[in-house]
Amino acid sequence: MPAIVRKLAQRLGMLQHSFVGGVHPNMHKLSADCGIEDCDLSPVHVLPMKQHIGEICSPLVAVGDQVLRGQKIAKSEGYLSVPVHAPTSGRVVKIEEHAIAHPSGMGLPSIFIESDGDDTIDESLSPISDWANSDPTQLRERARMCGLAGLGGAVFPTFIKLVQDKRFPIETVVLNGIECEPFLTNDHRLMLEHAEEILEGMAILMHMVGAASGIIAIENNKQDAAEAMQLALDARSDMDDVAVMVLPTRYPQGSEKQLIYTLTGREVPAGKLPMHIGVLCQNVGTTKALFDAVVHGRALTERIVTVSGDALPNPANLRVRLGTSVRTLFARQGLEDFSGTHIVHGGPMMGERLKHPDFPVVKSSTGLLAMSSQFMGSAHTVEQPCIRCGHCSEACPISLVPNLLADQCRSDQFDKAASYDLFDCIECGACSYVCPSNIPLVHYFRYGKGQLALQRREQAFADASRQRSEARDARIEREKAEKAARRTRVRQTHAPKTDQAKADTDKPAAVDSGAAAVSKESKD
């Protein structure tokens, strides 16, 4: 159906609102029936100093310090940042750079904690059981202190969204239990096993932002989770305006802006946040973490990770302490030889492919996948010419024109690509997924975005340098002018005195008149 007809039908209420485009990949939810297992403590935990979007943290501890579980070990150095906490009790053994789950293969400064096995919890944060009568700003500070960041994978600092702003009152809280990426089941299991805690967390969210209504969004391939949430909801008397909505499965429905449009019919404008249209969207995992932070006073030190993939013998959902080595997780599930397997951090559509498994679990680790080469086949097939079939434009959930953007990025026409809204691309991978010519479209967009960011950074540096250079030239010019002015003044004061000196040779000061004039001037 043409987009304009569909939009009109949606406006008139003849059709359910739904985001455009999207794809239906095979879901491969191998670990959907595996309950959450606790993963053992690892001997050494590696905590990178940045596990969120924003500014890097700086360590608060030194080598040799004893730390407790939940103790703050790194403090944030800016607004867009959250602190890092020790995942277990033990000793800080070293602070140095360690590889992280990043496509560059580069590392970040990290704190290494050797666990002592006691797992003693830091009790300094008191539980706030009476949160309903607490000040929202106090709860917000708690969310920041506990290091909460979006656990759906984007790791945006949570406290920033939890704000009451008179200009943008929040009407609806959306709980995101969509989990549209193939393979991943961590949110699914969390909703099945911790429905009450999630709902309590949602009540805290609604109290914090002053919202009256809420929606819990779940895709229809997780009926059991939806039933569990509905049961828990029925058991509560204080959440009448909250509804569980079951949506037809489609990727990328879990993307914040797409989900909000599907649920409310309101579109988040480019460059704006959901709060600007009166919506707060939180992942179920984050909501559970908020519950723990407020009601139990526990910092974010663990998360549920789906360990899966077609090359993994025993897929599972694990409750893992942050900083645990990914290699040990794979070994626990029966994979020790990594030759011929590809490791993916995150989901298969948006995750990063990594060269080795020696990196720690961080706040953004939704899933860890081990894929066989056959499964990753499309990544190795040859890129063919674009045949302009238009599948990518149809699949794009933001209605961009991926094939044109890729052409522009490829030939370095970044400004033009930006004018075709390259920066609105959410890199969901739907276009690359449907492309019959195997064009790595998202890879081109990432290249284009990176190059444009580089150009803008260089331009800013060049502008700053030009200002400094011009200021320097102006200063030299001014100093020269001052010197010249001083010289002429000296000459003027000097000249009559020499005349006098000729007339009156007894005066000794005349010889030194120049110096005298200078000192007199400097007194002025």
Q: In angstroms, rounded to a whole number, what is the distance separating the alpha carbons of residues 387 and 7?
A: 28
Structure tokens at 347: 């989901």
Instruction: Please select the residue that binds other proteins; options are 28, 29, 449, 497, rule is CB under 8 A.
Output: 449
Shortest reach from residue 411's CB to other proteins, in Å = 4
3-state DSSP assignment of residue 297:
coil
Buried b / exposed e over 448-462, threshold 16 CB at 10 Å, is bbeebeeeeeeeeee
392 marked as part of a ligand binding site = yes
**Cα distances (Å, whole numbers) of residue 50 to 54, 59, 104, 426:** 8, 11, 15, 22
Shortest reach from residue 12's CB to other proteins, in Å = 34
Residues 453-472 that bind other proteins (CB under 8 A): 453-455, 457-459, 461-466, 468-469, 471-472
Q: In angstroms, rounded to a whole number, what is the distance separating the alpha carbons of residues 186 and 194?
A: 12
Shortest reach from residue 399's CB to other proteins, in Å = 19
Shortest reach from residue 462's CB to other proteins, in Å = 4
Q: In angstroms, rounded to a whole number, what is the distance separating the alpha carbons of residues 491 and 489?
A: 5
Strand order through the sheet with 341-345: 36-38, 316-321, 302-308, 367-372, 341-345, 352-354
213 touches other proteins by CB under 8 A: no
Structure tokens at 119: 């797992």
Range in contact with other proteins (rule: CB under 8 A) among 27-35, 199-207, 259-267, 409-417? 409-417
431 marked as part of a ligand binding site = yes
Shortest reach from residue 463's CB to other proteins, in Å = 7
Closest CA to 149 of 315, 286, 293: 286
Residues 109-168 that bind other proteins (CB under 8 A): none
User: Side chain identity at 55, as an amino acid letter?
Assistant: E
- Angle at the Cα of 504 (from 498 to 508), degrees rounded to 5? 75
3-state DSSP assignment of residue 157:
strand
Binding mask of the shown chain, residues 69 to 108, with x at each position contacting other proteins by CB under 8 A: -------------------------------x-xxx-xxx
450 touches other proteins by CB under 8 A: yes
The single residue listed with the structure tokens 């033990």 is: 90
Shortest reach from residue 192's CB to other proteins, in Å = 36
User: Side chain identity at 395, as an amino acid letter?
Assistant: A
CB 405 within 8 A of CB 420: yes
State the number of binding residues for other proteins (CB under 8 A).
Answer: 44
Shortest reach from residue 94's CB to other proteins, in Å = 19
Strands 302-308 and 341-345 turn out to be: unpaired
3-state DSSP assignment of residue 259:
helix
447 touches other proteins by CB under 8 A: yes
Binding mask of the shown chain, residues 469 to 498, with x at each position contacting other proteins by CB under 8 A: x-xx--------------------------
Q: What is the dihedral of CA 482, 487, 490, 496, to 10 degrees?
A: -130
Give 141 or 383: the residue with its C-beta nearer to other proteins: 383
Give 326 or 439: the residue with its C-beta nearer to other proteins: 439
Shortest reach from residue 389's CB to other proteins, in Å = 15
Strand partners, 72: 85
Which residues make Cβ contacts (< 8 Å) with residue 346, sequence separation at least 6? 153, 181, 352, 364, 365, 366, 367
Strand partners, 488: none
The secondary structure element, H or E, covering residue 352 is: strand 352-354
Residues 297-336 that bind other proteins (CB under 8 A): none
Instruction: Please select the residue that binds other proteins; options are 91, 266, 446, 494, rule is CB under 8 A.
Output: 446
Give 407 or 424: the residue with its C-beta nearer to other proteins: 407
First-residue to last-residue Cα distance in the chain: 84
Shortest reach from residue 450's CB to other proteins, in Å = 2
Strand partners, 321: 302
The single residue listed with the structure tokens 């789950």 is: 101
Instruction: Please select the residue that binds other proteins; options are 410, 480, 491, 507, rule is CB under 8 A.
Output: 410
Range in contact with other proteins (rule: CB under 8 A) among 323-331, 332-340, 402-410, 480-488? 402-410
356 touches other proteins by CB under 8 A: no
Give 222 or 449: the residue with its C-beta nearer to other proteins: 449
Give 133 or 381: the residue with its C-beta nearer to other proteins: 381
420 touches other proteins by CB under 8 A: no
Give 11 or 410: the residue with its C-beta nearer to other proteins: 410
440 touches other proteins by CB under 8 A: yes
Residues 364-383 that bind other proteins (CB under 8 A): 382-383
The secondary structure element, H or E, covering residue 287 is: helix 284-291
Which residues make Cβ contacts (< 8 Å) with residue 190, sequence separation at least 6? 36, 198, 284, 285, 288, 304
39 marked as part of a ligand binding site = no
Residues that bind other proteins (CB under 8 A): 100, 102-104, 106-108, 382-385, 404, 407-408, 410-413, 416, 439-440, 443-444, 446-447, 449-451, 453-455, 457-459, 461-466, 468-469, 471-472
Binding-site residues, in ranges, read 386, 389, 392, 396, 425, 428, 431, 435
Binding-site residues for [4Fe-4S] cluster, in ranges, read 386, 389, 392, 396, 425, 428, 431, 435
